[in-house]
């Protein structure tokens, strides 16, 4: 679903998506961890965004919040521990159907982005963008990946 509303210089927009992506079948002889009917790994069940923008008199700003929720992926920390273990049984646990034991559910994190620009004339525009303003770095797409932290970027855009 998608909706947008504009009233003068102010705009508000939102989206919501649901996904039910499942394995239909596995090949004969397949020895992996997926089974028919399983949800696909690392595919969020829901995504949503909500944003607001303001445009006027040479200025433009936008604030957007996004979130992906409810997906299954590997517990990468537990996998790494088992894989680097000196115990042969633990090392065998990271192959084939045993990988199912390392599945876990993730809920995601809300991402906040703010952008602003100012037209300074003669085809020049000043830009300022802030990404990951809430500073979350863990839990997406798994429990081992560390996402880029809070980032502020500035620049000058030239149009010819």
CA proximity to 40, closest of 21, 26, 60, 68? 21
Arithmetic mean of pLDDT, 114-125: 95
Arithmetic mean of pLDDT, 70-87: 92
The whole domain housing 114 covers 2-158
Is 10 within 8 Å of 53 (Cβ atoms)?
A: yes
Which pLDDT band holds residue 139 (cuts at 50, 70, 90)?
confident
Arithmetic mean of pLDDT, 3-15: 98
Arithmetic mean of pLDDT, 75-104: 89
Q: Could you give the percent of the chain with pLDDT greater than 70?
A: 100
Determine the Cα–Cα distance for residues 15 and 19; give it in Å rounded to an integer. 13
- pLDDT of 88 reads 79
Which pLDDT band holds residue 72 (cuts at 50, 70, 90)?
very high
Q: How many domains does the chain have?
A: 1
Q: Cis link prior to 34 (omega < 30° from 0)?
A: no
Per-residue model confidence as pLDDT tens digits over 25-57: 999 999 999 999 999 999 999 999 999 999 999
The token duo for 80 is: 């790494």
* Confidence check: pLDDT of 91 > 90: no
């Amino acid at each position: 679903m998608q909706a947008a509303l504009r009233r003068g210089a102010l705009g508000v927009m939102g989206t919501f998506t649901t996904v039910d992506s499942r394995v239909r079948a596995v090949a004969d002889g397949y020895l992996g961890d997926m089974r028919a009917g399983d949800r696909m790994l690392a595919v969020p069940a829901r995504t949503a965004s909500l944003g607001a923008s303001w445009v006027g008199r040479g200025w433009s700003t936008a604030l957007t919040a996004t979130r992906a929720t409810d997906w299954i992926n590997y517990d990468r920390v537990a996998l790494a521990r088992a894989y680097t273990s000196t115990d042969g049984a633990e090392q065998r646990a990271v192959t084939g159907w045993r990988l199912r034991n390392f599945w876990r559910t993730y809920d995601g994190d809300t991402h906040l982005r703010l952008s602003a620009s100012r037209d300074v004339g003669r085809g020049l525009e000043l830009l300022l963008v802030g990404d990951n303003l809430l500073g979350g770095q863990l839990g997406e797409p798994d429990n081992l990946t560390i996402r880029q932290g809070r980032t502020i970027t500035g620049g000058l855009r030239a149009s010819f």
